[in-house]
Every structure is written in structure tokens, then in C-alpha cells.
Chain A
């Protein structure tokens, strides 16, 4: 129904109608607007969930404070809509867990969705009108953006960086490109979806077994085969297959989010192994050796530089002599795993008072580690004031191990793991 639109003059390099550019080339009897609509409807909620938790995770860094912003201070679209709360303590673990699980669970559906519309890549003529050209440009951003965002995220979980850009800003900005193209795509395709569901029924094609599986009625979307091969699988079998892949990936990833006895479920995930039963036998994100922490720096000569209204230098024995508090708190990583342990140490607000800093101070924390993106962290006034926020000296009744931040580390409820600085060397309370 496009007779009103003049066709663009034929491009001099328009591909000849051979191979995949011929409609007859695409023979699957299952492709069509109904299948694409069902896959899209399954994919959209997962993407929304993954996007919302992704942006919440960004806000959890309190990017307005110090050098906390994971995309670098002062860059565009650096969302800091509210100050990240400390309750419930599992908030960051849940947000990040949902982000990773929904993203990984979406992969099989995304691949199936792309398969279902692949004939459109080769449609003829390649550009029908200006509207069509702009829409195809946006589709390139949609497809490239989806693949880029999902696969950079997944490779980051596995600590594999084959590219030259820095992961967080690239993942963050690509998400905006992807979501802008997705919003347009959903808006433009809603009528196609409504038409498909009206003509075949939303669920009716699921009733057909293999013998009754026939191609969808022809539609303007050009994905229905005009020379269909005999079906080898019913639509419900295809969707069941994709569903099993998606649920399977979700369950095996969720093991490292939930932790405890469920951790071994994540048998292919990076933090799916249990490390033993000792007090320090829980997941590590950066070992002392990898951060260049030397035993001599953490030995008896270690002093904590504490500053506020006055400057102090405290040994570990000094800190142990202060009132000790024990809190059961999760440590959760941006890579989607978490584990809850029992931490003992000095309350941050007690240290603030010791430094002569009354309420309403932020805290700048520095680590002994020489480099790395999160060598320092800034905590908000709310995080400093929370009674559960500790400078931890012990975990599960034993001294912290070197890998867990001996002689002292920060632990704050609902704070991303990378901001819970290990091997603390200096703490400075500053007025906002």
C-alpha cells in the first residue's frame, strides 16, 4: 500500500536479485510477523528490566561524589537522580543480580528475534523512500546496539576485554543508542504486531502440531516465505526450545547472585565455585597480589591516616581497642555475584567523631593499592551515618585475609563492591 510514495531512483549499486536478495531464498515456513511479534513481546520486558536495573546500578555509585562516576566525571548523560540509600542492605545485590540475569536470559530470545527478521536485511529495493532509509539507519543502530550492549556486558562478567575502549562508558553510551532505536522500533512496529495478533490470534498458532504448521498469512512485513519448505518443527516447539535456553541460562547465572547452597548452579559462571568453609573462604574480586599490595605495607608499621577537624594516625591495635560492632552484610559485585558475610569493625560514624567531624560529612577513602579505577571512593553523608557502615577488621570472627583487604576494609550496606575499598590507608571526612 505504498503507491503514494514515489520510489527513490534505483541506486546504481542496487544489489542484483540473486541469492539472499531473492524472496524465494528464505524458505522457513515459521518466519512471519506473528513469530517476530511473540519474540518481541518476550524480549521487551526483559530488556526494560535489564535497562532499568542497569541505570539504577549506575546511580548506586553516587556518580556525583568525588571520582565515583564509572563513566568518568563530567561526561554527558551521567545520571545521578537521587542519593543511593543504604536500606535494604541487599538492594545493590538484587539490582545488579537482576541486571545480569535478565540480560543473559534475553540472549537466546534476541538471537531468535534476529533470525526471524533476517530476510529484511536483504529486502529489495534496499531503499524505498526517505522514510524507509531513515528507518533502516535506525535499525542498524538497533541491531548493532543490541549485540554490542549484550556482548560487552557478558564479556565484562568474564573479564575478557578484546577491545581498546574502556568498558563502562562504552556499555553505558551504547545502551542509550540501543534504547533510543528500540523506542522508535516499538512505536513503528506496534501496528504490525497488532495486525499480526488480530489476524492469527495471539496464542492460536501455538495449538498447531507439526502436521498443522503452515506459513503465516502474507503480510507487508516481507518475512513470510513465498516458497516455503515443509516445516520441520512446530511453532510451539520452536518457542519451547528458545524458552528452555533462556530459563536455563537464567537459572545457571542466578546461582552466583543468590550464593549459598545455590551457588553451584552457576556451573559456567565466573563466581560459581565455592571456595571452602573457612572464615575467609568467600568470593574475591581483586586479589592482593594483583593490586600490588606488599606484606610489608600491611604489617605492624601500617597506620590509618584519619583526618577531619584533626589528623590522627591509628594502628590496627588502636582500631581494635575502639568499640567493635558486628554486622551481617552482603558484598555484591557489578559483575553480578554476591555473598553475605558477618563483618566486625569500627563504625564509620564513630571514626568521624574521633576525627572531630560531626554529622553531615562525606568520607573520602584511599587504598594502599597503587592503581586501578577504584583506588579511591567517596561515601555519602547517609552512608557514613548508617550504624551498619563499618571499617571492618575481621570477618566471620577471624582477621581479614590479605585478599579480603587486611588490615582494614570498608563495608557499607547496599554499596557496590568496588566502592567498599580494601587495604584502606587513609580516610578523610569532608563537609559537603
Chain B
């Protein structure tokens, strides 16, 4: 892969095939934590951290454990256990070594286990047959794309406090419609990289 291809690969993962708005992964926390900017940024950081690690470790588990033992059909169970254990481990290690960061991200970490974007990226890495470097880069870039969409969306949603929204559309309904228009804006990037 040349450098140009590599850059396009990264841009494709962040903007064009945005994991949230294009692939529909991780929508529950997207709508859940985007009411306020500070929770959205906290969640974004936690996702970037966990998704990159989870993508890398599940790749290793797949090719050095499941494939040699010929138990690839246990992929789903193995991956979700790896992710759950990883999240727990990150939580404990962070609490002991980086208390300041733990205070900021603490409450978001348990939520990430059920964030389908993390498991989704792990499975995409395998199904697209990425090599190790591509896996690490794709996991990180997807997480950055997720964070970008989440933080932008939280910024828009904070303004809703000042807007007059029809009663029937309050809360999640208007959130979904807004997300739709954001997805429309993101689909404008489609010409950047044809992937």
C-alpha cells in the first residue's frame, strides 16, 4: 500500500464510512450521552482508547488462538469476552495509575462493553482480512470518526435547549432527525475516497 492509499484508507474510515452515521454502529450511547458536551467528550476519549486496544487484541486472538485451534465459529463469544475483560482491566489499571484520567472517564468505561461499535470494528477487521498494521490504523481511525460525529452532535444538541421544538418531537425523536441530517452532510464526503 502506497502512502497515498494509506491516507485515503484513514480518511475513508473517519469521514466516508463513518462508523456511526454510515455503518450504524454504536447508536445507543450516541443518543444517550450526547445531551451535554462534557459527557460527549468523555465518552469519545474512552471510545478511542478502548476501540484501538480492543481491535488490536481481538486481531491477535483471532489469528494466534482461534485460527490455529480451528474454533473460528466461537469468534463472537471470544471477542465479547475479550472486550468485557479488557474494559474491566483498563478500568482497574487506570484507577491505580492515572486517577485523574479515571475520574474523567470512569463512568463511561463500563458502558463501552455494550457499545456495538467496539465489537463491530473488531469483526470488520477480521471480515475485511486486514493485516496487523491496517487493523490498528482502522480501529483508531474509526474511533476518531465516532468521536468526531459524537462531539459535533452534542454541540448541536446543546443548542436545542434554546430552540422551540414541537412537543411530540422532543428528546430522542428530534435527535434522530438531526442525526439524519448530519449523516446527509457526511455523505457529502463520499467523493473523497472510493472504498
Q: Do A and B bind each other?
A: no
Measured CB to CB, the residues of B under 8 A from A are: none
A interface residues (Cβ-Cβ under 8 A, vs B) = none
